[in-house]
């Protein structure tokens, strides 16, 4: 079981992600903006951070910069309802920007439950945190 922080300004996304991850056996804490997420991340021992890129106030990029200064080891998965990678030259490549700031994975909203759970498993295994308290993660 991993301790996961979900930072997203969309309450429906928070609830959906929290329920899916709790059903998979994880402990989930949510925040509805970057400042709250940063404060929780600094105060808690999280194994994984899901972070919306586009939020009012402190956006996901700024939140990620601040998290990396305080907690450089935490895996970060960026999530967004906007296209994350650009088609040709029509838009900024947010995935490249997020990767440069330390994101290890990304999910495009709406995502399927299997995609979410695969991102969790992959990130936790890559970070060597596939289990917590003796409960193994599923492959």
Spell out the per-residue pLDDT of the chain, length 139, in tens. Answer: 899 999 999 999 999 999 999 999 999 999 999 999 999 999 989 999 999 999 999 999 999 999 999 999 999 999 987 665 555 454 457 777 888 888 999 888 889 999 999 999 999 998 886 544 332 333 3
Q: Give the integer Cα–Cα distance in Å for 109 and 82.
A: 8
What pLDDT is attached to residue 101? 87
Q: Domains, the chain, ranges and CATH?
A: 3-128 (3.40.50.2300)
Question: At CA 109, angle to CA 40 and CA 80, rounded to 5?
Answer: 50
**Whole-number Å distance between alpha carbons of 28 and 6:** 7
Look up the pTM and report it: 0.84
Of 68, 69, 79, 103, residue with least CA distance to 21: 79
Instruction: Of 108, 51, 111, give the one whose Cα is nearest residue 75.
Output: 51
pLDDT, position 130: 56
pLDDT for the residue numbered 17: 97
Distant-in-sequence, close-in-space partners of 87: CB < 8 Å, separation ≥ 6: none
């Amino acid at each position: 079981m991993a301790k996961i922080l979900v930072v997203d300004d969309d309450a429906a996304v928070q609830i959906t992600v929290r329920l899916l991850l709790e059903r998979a056996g994880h402990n989930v804490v949510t925040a509805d903006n970057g400042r709250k997420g940063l404060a929780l991340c600094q105060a808690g021992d999280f194994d994984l951070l899901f972070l919306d890129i586009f939020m009012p106030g402190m956006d996901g990029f700024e939140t990620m910069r601040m998290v990396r200064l305080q907690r450089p080891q935490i895996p970060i998965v960026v999530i967004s309802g906007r296209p994350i990678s650009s088609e040709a030259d029509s838009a900024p490549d947010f995935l490249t920007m997020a990767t440069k700031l330390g994101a290890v994975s990304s999910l495009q909203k709406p995502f399927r439950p299997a995609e979410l759970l695969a991102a969790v498993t992959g990130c936790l295994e890559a970070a060597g945190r596939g289990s917590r308290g003796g409960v193994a993660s599923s492959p």
